[in-house]
């Protein structure tokens, strides 16, 4: 509640410079992390987003600043700008998959984390265009050797 108290207008005390430049500026990264329930998932998604922001060379000191700057750039330059950045990142992942440095399911996991971020930031991306033809992860059976008691 202390953080939000600075946003409430107190008769003549609020300056125009204190208003957020973007409606997502103060809450996009917090909303993203809050949407992930499991702590392990939260850490994996945070790491994947850090790699994404670093590879596309988003300005900012930390991952929160980079996420804010990415949303600002996407809102100023349109969703085509964001689409091109994500496409560049996916192309990088696909080249790593071709060299057998990563597997196809890793590419899918990166896309899931980026898609969630873009959905929460209201960045409209044509995900069918991006995900068409991507490698699928291998699915392993959940079988086990039957015990003597079962036989």
46-82 confidence digits (pLDDT tens): 999 999 999 999 898 889 999 999 999 999 998 899 9
Domain assignment of residue 105, given as a range = 22-131
Q: Is the pTM of this model over 0.75?
A: no
Inform me whether the pLDDT recorded for 137 exceeds 90. Answer: no
Over range 131-143, report the average pLDDT. 73
Asked if the structure places residue 62 within a domain, the reply is yes
Give the per-residue pLDDT at 149. 83
> How many distinct structural domains can be found in the chain?
1
Cα dihedral 120, 61, 80, 43, rounded to 10, equals -40
List, for residues 80-90, the tens digit of each pLDDT value.
Answer: 999 999 999 99
Comparing 21-25, 33-37, 48-52, 77-81, the range with the smallest average pLDDT is 21-25
Residue at 5 is within a domain: no
**Residue 10: its pLDDT value, please?**
44
> Given a cut of 70, is residue 22 above it in pLDDT?
no
Q: Kindly give, in sequence order, each residue whose CB lies less than 8 Å from that of residue 110, ignoring residues fewer than 6 positions away.
A: 48, 51, 52, 89, 90, 93
Nearest 5°: phi and psi at 27?
-130, 0
Tell me what pLDDT residue 20 has. Answer: 45
User: Does residue 135 register a pLDDT over 90?
Assistant: no
In a domain, 48, yes or no: yes
Residue 65 counted as domain residue: yes
Rg (CA), the chain: 20
């Amino acid at each position: 509640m202390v953080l939000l108290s600075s946003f409430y207008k107190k008769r003549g005390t609020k300056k125009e410079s204190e208003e957020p430049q973007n409606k997502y500026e103060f809450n996009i990264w917090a909303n993203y992390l809050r949407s992930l329930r499991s702590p392990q998932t939260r850490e994996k998604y945070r790491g994947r987003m850090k790699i994404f922001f670093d590879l596309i060379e988003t300005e900012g000191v930390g991952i929160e600043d980079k996420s804010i700057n990415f949303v600002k750039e996407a809102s100023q330059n349109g969703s085509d700008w964001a689409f091109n950045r994500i496409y560049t990142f996916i192309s990088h992942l696909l080249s790593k998959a071709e060299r057998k440095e990563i597997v196809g399911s890793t590419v899918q996991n990166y896309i899931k984390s980026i898609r969630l971020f873009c959905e929460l930031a209201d960045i409209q991306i044509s995900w069918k265009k991006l995900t068409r033809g991507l490698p699928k992860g291998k699915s392993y059976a959940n079988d086990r050797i039957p015990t003597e008691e079962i036989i």
